[in-house]
Structure 1
Amino acid sequence: MRDGDHFAALTPAVLLDGAEVGRLTVRAASIRGDSHNWEGSCRQDAMTVTRVGPREAELLLLAVADGVGSASHSHEGSYYVTRQAALHLDREAENIHAALIARDEGELRAIANKAIAGAVSDLRIGQEHSTTLHVLLVPVDATVRERVVFSVGDGGLFVLRDRQWHHANPVDEGSLLDTRTEALPHAYRSVKAKLLYSEPGEVLLLGTDGITNPLTQKDPAFAQHLAQAWGGPRVPSLSDFLWQAQTRVKSYDDDRTVICMWEGTE
């Protein structure tokens, strides 16, 4: 506390959450990485699990953010941006629901840019923030099969289907020569959006790069381990999910935030 950054001092090393909304079941964990444990710095990842919109257009909102370590207040930025994004997207819930039913990806992209711009404007002025953001919105109405993911920066969405992981990130429409990592509030061109469909039996995984990188790079054993753990017939308990999410991978010691969603058939 005497270092002066009270937010960092009061940030827990681990967050664990879960929810059941109709047929949808969520497990979520945000874990401080070994590198931050070694340095004595706080967890810079953040997550939000909530519901937005009125009953007739209700959406399950899942959000993850990864504060960029080079910015002095990135841990605050990631925390606040997931929550402010939820507030602004709640105001747009009816429009999002209608655009999902119409399968209008262009309208969803426009809504995302407006809402995230509003969320960014709410960040505390005068502090150095830099953070990624990924938001998955899923209609609570089981008859609506469309979902949408909004993304800025590294990390993102995967679908577990038949024990195999598949990328489901929006495609970057910018220059292929631009390799900069995008981040809020200033270092991004626009919020990317992707309309997708999922079926009962598939698992949607939203994560920061602390899990998406090892999931896809150099360690197939890690990907297979999580596919076996999360692709079975039963949703893991909260304690089991935390234990599984903490599986160590050599050379990957960043914060790790992962939210998984299962959909029952009844």
Structure 2
Amino acid sequence: MSQQGGRPTGHEDDWWGQLYGDATEDTGPTAAPDSLDDRFASAAGTVNGVPGKGTAVPPQRGAPDAEERPSPASAFPAGLPKPPGFTVKAPQEDGPHPPRERTDSGSEDPRRSAPPPPPPSARPAPREDLPASPPAPLDYVGSGPPTYAAEPTALPPADPDDLDDLVADTVLDGAHYGACTLRAVSLRGDSARYRGEPRRDSLLTARFGTGDHALVLVAMATGARATPNAHRAAAEACHWIGRAVGRSHPRLAEDIRAARRCDLKSGLHRLTDRSLGKLRASAAEQGIEPEEYAATLRCLLLPADPECRTRVFFGVGTGGLFRLRDGEWQDIEPRVTEAGGAVAAPPAETPDGDRLTMDLGITTPPSPYDPAPEPPREPFRFRASVARPGDTLLMCTGGLADPLRGEPDLAAYLSGRWAAPEPPGLAAFLADAQVRVKGYADDRTAAAVWEA
């Protein structure tokens, strides 16, 4: 007999010719079934001493309805040539390994030789030395759920002739420059959502310049409470400080890189006073009192130069400036003192006990020759700090600063979420910033900077 796959010789030629010879027609009436399986069965029966009849193979376990016909692998006896290209399946063994196909040359089919994935019980357990994942997002923290619903309820009233005055419920932004990644959000508080009032907070993120000389400004403002134009005053305050910083950004960026702290403080103080002065002038044009068209203002300057890690905060009014370092929050809000610009009230009496003033209950009318006194101004706040890799700097309005200082659970939750070296995405940052605390329902505006 020739090699496997070749043409047989000797007494097998007649059988081979009858089965695969060129003279044998593929179609036409036959005395017996002429399928390939039937030919296999006939050949097996001939070799086994039962002419014209194959050896029946019982159905496989688990397949009771299988037709009783011989398996090609078992029906082909040893010593009988197999036609070229014929493949057989190796018997299936117990276990999770699937059967592998073998070709007539005896080699395994590489497409079928890859083992399946191990069962869940055989997979390796997670490593214990890996850092723990951050806690799952929450809706609120504290002793109980807040009074108001979590989602917006009523929209603010709209003027068809002044649709530009509408304020969106939530503003979200972000960027990556130099060694820092910025996430910023401003969202309407639960109380304003319930009452259908516009968001009093305003947020501005802007880049001035290009390349390493660019300067990123984040400005946020909060309009005066219980005034109809609070949202307009906050937006105008951000607009004016943005214009002032944008026009002076080359000098400001150079002062930051050169660490000219005194020049920065005096220059930014001047720009802030000028911007808020325009706000007071706008109030006069509208014929309303300056305190009714006022806003707090908080700003952050971030240089795009990756070699410069100086972060500059400045502004007026209340809010918060925090730093998350080594998993702990640090309150780095600049403290206002008399030297820092705050006006200290005079003492009521001298050390000897003499009264400096006498309150007789008589109101003194203002002199017609003296100009009207200006409304009291908030002291200027300034801080320039050097960031470290892994720091997270957070600047926010009072809507987030107050619960962050007053509710330890919120501080612990945010530290767990933001302590990871990889900053969250915009959606995740929004979910973190709007975690609510009972008793705090004001607007929230926050800007966080992750240092690489």
**Contact 1:17/1:29 (8 A) holds in 2:** yes
**1:112-191 equivalence runs, <5 A:** 112-123=268-279, 124=282, 125-126=285-286, 128-174=292-338, 187-191=376-380
Residue 450 (structure 2) aligns with: 262
Secondary structure, aligned partner of 2:293: coil
Tell me if the contact between 2:272 and 2:315 (Cα under 8 Å) persists in the aligned partners: no
Give the SS at the match of 2:323: strand
Give RMSD over aligned pairs. 2.4
Instruction: Find 2:427's aligned residue among 239, 246, 253.
Output: 239
Counterpart residue number, 1:182: none
1:210 aligned residue (375, 395, 399): 399
Rounded Cα–Cα distance in structure 1 between residues aligned with 2:205 and 2:423 = 17
Q: Distance in 2 between matches of 1:96 and 1:156?
A: 23
Measure the CA separation in 2 of the matches of 1:160 and 1:172.
Answer: 22
Q: Give yes or no for contact 1:158–1:165 (8 Å, CA) kept in 2.
A: yes
Report how many residues are paired: 257
Contact 2:255–2:261, Cα closer than 8 Å, also in 1? yes
- C-alpha spacing 1:22/1:109, structure 2 compared with 1 (3 Å): closer
Pick aligned residue for 2:186 from 16, 30, 36: 30
Normalization by structure 1: what TM-score? 0.87
Note closer, same or farther for the CA distance 1:260–1:44 as it changes in structure 2 (3 Å cut): same
Residue in 1 that maps onto 2:436 = 248
How many Å separate the matches in 1 of 2:237 and 2:252?
19
- SS of residue matched to 2:251: helix
Partner of 1:94, secondary structure, is: helix
**Which of residues 217, 238, 243 in structure 2 aligns to 1:87?**
243
Deviations 1:79-113 (A, max 9, x none): 12112212101222232223323433322221112
**Cα distance between partner residues in 2 of 1:164 and 1:196:** 17
Which amino acid is the alignment partner of residue 196 of structure 1? S
Higher CA-based Rg: 2
Per-residue deviation, 1:156: 3.0
Report deviation, 1:57: 3.1
Counterpart of 2:382 in structure 1 is 193
Aligned to 1:181: none
Q: Is 2:216 the partner of 1:60?
A: yes
Question: Aligned equivalents of 1:20 and 1:29: distance in 2?
Answer: 15
Question: After TM superposition, where is structure 1 displaced by more than 6 Å over at least 4 residues in a row?
Answer: none
Give CA-to-partner distance per residue, 1:124-153, whole Å, 9 cap, x none: 332541211111111111211222110201
Distance apart, 1:249 and its partner CA: 0.5
CA contact (8 A) 2:387 2:451 kept: no
Residue 56 of structure 1 and its aligned partner are, at CA, apart by 5.3
2:396 is aligned with what amino acid?
G
SS state at 2:218 partner: strand
Native 8 Å contact 2:316 2:378 kept in 1: no
Q: Which amino acid aligns with 1:150?
A: F
Preserved contact between residue 53 and residue 91 of structure 1 (Cα < 8 Å) = no
Could you tell me how far apart the structure 2 residues matched to 1:222 and 1:72 are?
A: 31
The answer to whether the 8 Å contact 1:206/1:258 transfers is yes
Classify 1:237/1:107 alpha carbon distance in 2 versus 1 (closer, same or farther; 3 Å). same
Residues 60-79 of structure 1 deviation map (CA, whole Å, 9 limit, x = unaligned): 21111111213331211111
Distance 2:212 2:178 in 1: 14
Structure 1 gaps of 5+ residues are: 179-184
Q: Closer, same or farther in 2 for the Cα pair 1:33/1:86, shift >3 Å?
A: same
Letter in 2 for 1:162: D
Q: Report if aligned partners of 1:57, 1:93 keep a CA contact under 8 Å in 2.
A: no
Name the structure with the higher strand share. Answer: 1
2:293 is aligned with what amino acid?
H
Contact 1:64/1:206 (<8 A) preserved: no
Deviation of the 1:186 alpha carbon:
5.3
3-state SS of paired residue (1:132): strand
Q: 1:162 to 1:23 in 2, by over 3 A?
A: same
Of 404, 410, 414 in structure 2, the residue corresponding to residue 226 of structure 1 is: 414
> CA contact under 8 A between 1:203 and 1:260: conserved in structure 2?
yes
| Cα distance in 2 for residues equivalent to 1:153 and 1:8 | 27
In structure 1, the residue matched to 2:80 is: none
1:149 touches 1:170 (CA, 8 Å); kept in 2? no
CA contact (8 A) 2:179 2:309 kept: no
User: In percent, how many aligned pairs have the same letter?
Assistant: 32
CA contact (8 A) 1:151 1:170 kept: no
Q: Offset at 1:32?
A: 0.6
Distance 2:410 2:295 in 1: 26
